Amino acid sequence: MGTTSPHATPRATRGPSTPKSPDPARRNPRSQQAIFEASLDLVGKVGYEKLTIEAIAAQAGVGKQTIYRWWPSKAAVLLDAFTATVEDPDYDAGFPDTGDLAADLKGVLRATVDEFNDPAFEAPYRALAIASAGDPELAHSFVTRLSERGVQVYMDRLRTAQEAGEIDPRTDLRIATELMLSPFAQRWLTRSGPLTYAFTDALVDHALRGILTRDPGDPGDLRGPGDAGA
């Protein structure tokens, strides 16, 4: 899902520059896994600001130049490590479709609540979200590899409902998705309130109240008088 942090952070410290991007296929799998595990463990223990390439290298049992050869920054290491950890082989199967749109949305958002309340998931994801606010290149990778995929899965489920006549055909599906995901991200990033099932259920209810198809004249119809015949 998409996130925007209100807190700007400095760019991650970068290692020596290289003439071209390293080839991930040439990395030693065992060393790469050790680096991934070390980076995820350390970011949970010391936080992103105190996370260093040197500490990752020491815990992984590799030289820091090995890491600098394979990644340009600690953020890049963490992004690859986190992406590899959360990659789900069934992800491309898409959103559950039981025929009950509200239940499907609530079920997935409840699972997301559990995920974001899990410290093992929360620490690296929060670190990447905040670091992205001060690093446009990292932000692009973060959106492309993580948040945008989630947005598209929601949009696909809403599109199915729209094609079935459940959702007003004029609805912008990205905006409809963000009506649910953006308040979730805002509350999580700013810690302005707890992430609970009641909260995400309410997000779904409010979003659907504005986009579901209704007969003109229905008391719950939010369209203006001039839209009644549209």
User: What's the confidence (pLDDT) of residue 68?
Assistant: 92
Query: Whole-prediction pTM value?
Result: 0.73
Q: Which two tokens stand for residue 103?
A: 């239940």
Q: Write the single-letter amino acid at 72.
A: P
What does the alpha-carbon distance between residue 95 and residue 93 come to, in Å, rounded to a whole number?
A: 7
pLDDT band at residue 44, thresholds of 50, 70 and 90? confident
User: What's the confidence (pLDDT) of residue 86?
Assistant: 76
Residue 73 backbone phi and psi in degrees, to 5: -160, 165
**Total count of domains within the chain:** 1
User: What's the confidence (pLDDT) of residue 135?
Assistant: 84
**Window from 65-79, 98-112, 151-165, 212-226 with minimum mean pLDDT:** 212-226
Q: Which two tokens stand for residue 223?
A: 């369209």
pLDDT tens, position by position, 200-217: 999 999 999 999 987 555
Instruction: With beta carbons less than 8 A apart as the criterion, state whether 11 and 137 touch.
Output: no
DSSP label at 146? I
- Whichever domain contains 163, its CATH number is 1.10.357.10
Return the higher-pLDDT residue of 26 and 122.
Answer: 122
Alpha helix ranges (H) inside 25-147? 29-46, 53-60, 64-70, 74-86, 101-116, 119-132, 136-142
Q: Write the single-letter amino acid at 179.
A: L
Q: Which two tokens stand for residue 69?
A: 């050869």
Range of the domain at 9: 1-230
The angle, 0 to 180 degrees and rounded to 10, between the axes of the packed helices 173-190 and 148-163 is 140
pLDDT tens, position by position, 144-198: 888 888 899 999 999 999 999 999 999 999 999 999 999 999 999 999 999 999 9
What does the alpha-carbon distance between residue 78 and residue 67 come to, in Å, rounded to a whole number?
A: 11
What does the alpha-carbon distance between residue 161 and residue 21 come to, in Å, rounded to a whole number?
A: 42
Helix (H) or strand (E) holding 180: helix 173-190
Q: Which two tokens stand for residue 22?
A: 């390293």
Torsion sign (Cα): 94, 92, 175, 75: positive
